[in-house]
Amino acid sequence: MQAGDAGFFAGLREAAGEAWRAYVEHPFVRGLGDGSLPEAAFRHYLVQDYLFLIQFARAYGLAAYKADSLAEIREASAGLKALVEVEMDLHRAYCAEWGLDEAVLEAVEADGATLAYTSYVLERGLAGDLLDLRVALAPCVVGYGEIGARLAADPATRTDGNPYAPWIAMYAGSEYQALVRAEVDALEALAARRGGQARLGALAGTFRAATRLETAFWQAGLDAAGA
């Protein structure tokens, strides 16, 4: 989803303004593109992202509780199942390629950026309704798709000899891009059912805050590497 697209999500993205640009164009992201990102920063990110995915799964469990219909419960259940039974295994396998085995992943504690972001997402879901929760999650799901597509299309992105090329290919790939479109479509439908346009001001605040917390997640990787 890019600027100029119509719809509820486009309104959230536009309202986020500079916060969104700082997220999708962060130095961490640029380092992924040209291969200059310190490997220590990427390893830190991978471990913290594993811990985030666990909380992400909890958020889908909360989404089922917040659902008003069987269809919404099924949607949340499918997301939880995919995370726990598929994505977590894929992430562990990818981490292993970077020398981070399961023992390492289980031993590391969440850092401040991870705790801040995951706590915020779950708090919005507990305090609000299903739309509040999905809006808080959207910068992660949709943002990674935009970042992957941007990097893949950028002539400055290095593919040969870039250790992060597989990461870029994963998020730029057709499978993840289809997931992003499905997420945006689901968010649009949910917003239509739950008065999203009438609540756009408050929800835009949630989206903007979650976007800033995503940006802090990138920055934590750089800080951990002393970059």
Is 123 an active-site residue?
no
How far is 29 from 37, CA to CA, in rounded Å? 8
Q: Are 141 and 171 in contact (CB under 8 A)?
A: no
User: Sign of torsion, CA 112 114 120 123?
Assistant: negative
How far is 179 from 209, CA to CA, in rounded Å? 23
The residue whose two tokens read 């290919």 is 169
How far is 55 from 12, CA to CA, in rounded Å? 23
Is 214 an active-site residue?
yes
Q: Are 47 and 99 in contact (CB under 8 A)?
A: no
Which whole-number Å values give the CA distances from 227 to 37, 151, 168, 184, 222, in the listed order? 9, 21, 21, 34, 5
Determine the straight-line distance between the first and last CA of the chain, rounded to whole angstroms: 30
How far is 140 from 56, CA to CA, in rounded Å? 10
Out of 140, 146, 175, 183, pick the active-site residue.
Answer: 140
Out of 75, 146, 183, 214, pick the active-site residue.
Answer: 214
In 3D space, the residue among 66, 96, 60 whose CA is nearest the CA of residue 81 turns out to be: 60
Active site residues: 140, 214
